[in-house]
Amino acid sequence: SYVLTQPPSVSVAPGQTATITCEGDDIGRKTVHWYQQEAGQAPVLVIYNDDKRPSGIPERVSGSNSGNTATLTINRVEAGDEADYYCQVWDSSRDHRVFGGGTKLTVL
């Protein structure tokens, strides 16, 4: 089955840039979606189709995808960005959906 690998944790100071990676075999040939999950809450879609933002998601949140790595970037990080972030793809060969293991973003 298709595997997505994320770093367990990322730490960043307020105002700095957070970069969260999602690695998968030839992931650039899939569309990648990202979800933010605050403590005790349901996940929320923050990036879809690699780099598209749903309405209400600020422009400082962006995504990219190429080769074997997709990346979620959060510029000018705020305390409110502290959450778990998950990447997700569709494994079309099996018609399954796959999540990465999640990355805990800590704002120092």
Could you list the residues that contact other proteins (CB under 8 A)?
1, 29-31, 33, 35, 37, 42-45, 48-50, 52, 54, 84, 86, 88-90, 92, 94-102
Place of tokens 């990346």: 71
* Helix, strand counts (H, E) of the chain: 0, 9
Least distance from other proteins to the Cβ atom of residue 101, Å:
5
Q: Of the two residues 13 and 97, which places its CB atom closer to other proteins in the complex?
A: 97
Strands 44-47 and 96-99: unpaired
To the nearest whole angstrom, how small is the minimum distance from the Cβ of residue 16 to other proteins?
25
Centre a 10 Å sphere on the Cβ of residue 84 and count the other Cβ atoms it contains.
19
Count of residues making up the chain: 108
Q: Output 16 or 106, the one with its CB closest to other proteins.
A: 106
